[in-house]
Amino acid sequence: MEQITLHNGVKMPIIGYGVYQVSKEECERCVLDALAVGYRSIDTAQSYFNEEQVGNAIVKSGVPREDIFLTTKVWVEHYGYEEAKKSVLESMRKLRTEYLDLVLLHQPFSDYYGAYRALEDLYDEGKLRAIGVSNFYPDRLVDIASFSRVKPMVNQVETHPFHQQAEAKKWMDKYGIQMEAWAPFGEGRGGLFENSVLVQIAEKYKKTTAQIILRWHIQRGVVVIPKSTHKARMEENLKVFDFVLEPADMDRISALDQKQSSFFSHSDPAMVEWFVRMVEERRGKQ
């Protein structure tokens, strides 16, 4: 498994297994399958509501904990210093681990500075090996990188051939912050898997379009966390280290960039209001 080195020296697999939208009923089995076929990086989040299942699978797998790079994310309702710190310790309990390899702030809203200070202190205490953010646009990323005591090591964002985030990546590279792709396939929206350019390139290398997309990410230096509930697909997604895309093919994929999200914009005020309502509803149920 190829690895990248974060700016604090911690090594992270360039491909991992993500459990977003994997149900509680399937999650333990899926993580066991992922570890069995060779994944050594698992990405979850408080808002996925499957941390306990991930933790159970890791323990049952028999894979030494130190061989697994484990990521979770703090959700907005737990922002602010005290609540964020408490929530991370609760995530560790659910994940049945004494430490976490990476913890991210999931969204750039509410008191993310207070939450980030909690991550900094947990990092200093050795409970977190790396810390970072998710969905932070360049302006907010530069802000938190410049005014925090510990610069984020990772920014996990939406990026795929139809939304390549080239400008955002320039800023991440400038500050030494690793780009990580959630939805590296864009969930197939816009006919991504059937795109004629990607299909032609896949035929050339005798690979699937999914493998071509993952290889493209990797050659850009982007960490990927593809999700599948099928063991065969998990294996397929790992078979991307036995070929290299030629520069001309990388350029053809670069030309597919539509420069807009396939999902939503975090800078849209209406979307911010949607997140606010979600947080209020969850707090109301507690």
Over the chain, what HEC string results? CCEEECCCCCEEECECEECCCCCHHHHHHHHHHHHHHCCCEEECCHHHCCHHHHHHHHHHHCCCHHHCEEEEEECHHHCCHHHHHHHHHHHHHHHCCCCECEEEECCCCCCHHHHHHHHHHHHHCCCECCEEEECCCHHHHHHHHHHCCCCCCEEEEECECCECCHHHHHHHHHCCCEEEEECCCHHHHHHHHHCHHHHHHHHHHCCCHHHHHHHHHHHCCCEECCCCCCHHHHHHHHCCCCCCCCHHHHHHHHCCCCCCCCCCCCCCHHHHHHHHHHHHHHHHHC
Report the 10 Å Cβ neighbour count for 81. 17
Find tokens 């190829």 and name the residue. 2
Interior angle at CA 135, CA 133 and CA 141, nearest 5: 60
Mind telling me the catalytic residues?
48
β-sheet bridge partners, residue 156: 134, 180
